[in-house]
Amino acid sequence: MMMEGFMLIKFSALASHILADYCLENSCLFKSKSVLELGSGLGLTGLLLVKSLDLNSYTFTDHHSKVLEFLQHNVTINLSPKQEKIGEYSTKYNNTSVQIQCLDWEAFHYSQKYDIILGADVVFDRRLIPHLINVVLKSLNRRGKAIFASTIRNVDTYNYFLHKLEEKKLKIECTEERKHKGSLSQTDVSIVKIITFQIEEEIRTTQE
């Protein structure tokens, strides 16, 4: 059991770093934008982006209380000396407003809209995928983009995610595949797929 947890953390950290690299390479997309990160985990992606990019706001989210505790600790020591109660965190780093929120995809009720939605290794449970997509549909600005990085562990689960995107009329803008080998001595190569998608025009018009 511990080994399974270790492997999940290792894969998530890899996807988080690759997602951050991709965002930094495409920094022009983020200028003065509001960003929502789903499944922030330890906060690796968000911390790099908040410190490196000119953002309007960045909202870290996760659901499990222990993860939120670690997340808030990491954000606090990197961005702000102020310690607040778990689940009530907000601060400002340079010109970027930073928040941490508890977000349950299955009981989603937020109404705020964001320019960009990020997710690293959030496509892992087939049962949760419809809820994940619902969060994107309800939270993404009509001309916004969602960018997900996924370590491919189960091809069927990832293909189901792509199918649900099409079903919900979320248009895939671009895809990219990056391979990673932990060291020269390792033979196994991890494949991380990056996908950028947005709400199709006909849905935007309806929302307007």
Q: Determine the structural domain holding residue 194 and report its residue range.
A: 2-207
Using alpha carbons, list the distances in angstroms from residue 15 to 103, 158, 159, 160, 180. Answer: 20, 14, 18, 19, 10
Mean pLDDT on 7-35 = 85
pLDDT of residue 5: 36
pLDDT at residue 153, as a whole number: 87
Question: Over 80: is that where the pLDDT of 28 sits?
Answer: yes
| pLDDT class of 110 with cuts at 50, 70, 90 | confident
CA proximity to 120, closest of 178, 26, 37 = 37
Do β-strands 114-120 and 34-38 pair in parallel, antiparallel, or remain unpaired? Answer: parallel
- H or E element, residue 8: helix 2-25
What does the alpha-carbon distance between residue 153 and residue 134 come to, in Å, rounded to a whole number? 23
Q: What is the pTM of this model?
A: 0.88
pLDDT over 60 (residue 2)? no
Higher local confidence (pLDDT), 206 or 179: 179
pLDDT digits (tens, 9 = 90+) for 150-168: 999 899 999 999 999 999 9
With vertex at residue 25, the alpha carbon angle to CA 95 and CA 58, rounded to the nearest 5 degrees, is 30
Chain centroid to CA 96: 18
Q: For residue 36, which of 138, 116, 131 has the smallest C-alpha distance?
A: 116
| 144 three-class SS | strand
For residues 155 and 58, what is the distance between their CA atoms, to the nearest angstrom?
31
Q: Which residue has the higher pLDDT, 137 or 208?
A: 137
Domain tally, the chain: 1
Question: pLDDT for 160-196, tens place per residue?
Answer: 999 999 999 999 999 999 987 654 445 578 899 999 9
CATH number at residue 96: 3.40.50.150
| pLDDT band, very low/low/confident/very high, at 83 (cuts 50, 70, 90) | low
Rg (CA), the chain: 17
Cβ atoms within 10 Å of 57's Cβ, excluding its own: 20
Please report which residue ranges of 53-198 form alpha helices under DSSP H: 65-79, 129-139, 155-167
